Amino acid sequence: MQLDVEGANVVEVYQMLVGLVAPRPIAWVTTLSPKGVVNLAPFSFFNAFGANPPIVVFSPTLRRDGTRKDTLLNLESLGEFVIHAAVESLAEKVNASSRELLPDESEVELVGLSTLASTKVKPPRLREAPVAMECKVRQILPMGTGPIAANLVIGEVLVMHVDDDMLDARGKPDPRKLKMVARLGGEYWCRSTDLFEQKRP
């Protein structure tokens, strides 16, 4: 098959894109509203893009009606966020936190989690998550308008919190212990437990 993006329906383009660019890691993000409400949402348009300084990028796309999500509004207001690891033991809560709530309702309470104060940013981190990265917004780049248009949030990681139980003997993150999950197309997810190693040339 061949899909000419220019003339295609945007939902069809989205479904093809997320089915072909996979697996996608999940940024499980807490932000803080101007009224102090903690927002929690997962985003699978996400990755790391450098280490000096450490840069992460994720995209809270516009809703299908073209409006901005609470996460994006909060980032435009405060410019700080925390990214958590989406691990298998919390996968159902990651998924449940994608539910659309009113701006004055918190997904943290909805899914039955609790928070801890962050050290350098105002949004709190999740007590139950084994990994949390406190970040500040460096730039927000809108890409397009209308349904599912991207908003690239470029963030600088200020502090990384990692449970000691998730580290190997050298003090490095151990994927066998972290057991991350990722998104595929449609309603499919995958686990990072099917591992193999290759030495870099």
Using CA atoms in the order 13, 14, 18, 21, what is the torsion angle rounded to 10 degrees?
A: 50
Which phi and psi angles does 139 have, rounded to 5°? -165, 150
The mean pLDDT of 54-81, rounded to a whole number, is: 96
pLDDT at site 143: 96
pLDDT grade for 56, boundaries at 50, 70 and 90: very high
Task: Tell me which residue has tokens 């030495």.
Answer: 199
* Superfamily of segment(s) 5-189: Electron Transport, Fmn-binding Protein; Chain A (2.30.110.10)
The mean pLDDT of 6-10, rounded to a whole number, is: 92
The mean pLDDT of 67-79, rounded to a whole number, is: 97
Instruction: Tell me the CA distances in angstroms from 41 to 2, 96, 119, one per residue in order.
Output: 33, 9, 21
Per-residue pLDDT tens over the stretch 117-139: 999 999 999 999 999 999 999 99
pLDDT at site 53: 98
* Percent of all residues in the chain with a pLDDT value above 90, rounded to a whole number: 99
* Percent of all residues in the chain with a pLDDT value above 70, rounded to a whole number: 100
The mean pLDDT of 106-126, rounded to a whole number, is: 98
The mean pLDDT of 56-79, rounded to a whole number, is: 96
The answer to whether the Cα torsion of 169, 174, 177, 178 is positive or negative is positive
**pTM here?**
0.95
Sequence spans of domains, the chain: 5-189
pLDDT at site 123: 98
User: Residues 157, 53: contact at Cβ < 8 Å?
Assistant: yes
pLDDT at site 19: 96
pLDDT grade for 111, boundaries at 50, 70 and 90: very high
Per-residue pLDDT tens over the stretch 175-200: 999 999 999 999 999 999 999 999 99
Three-state DSSP state, 101:
coil
pLDDT at site 164: 98
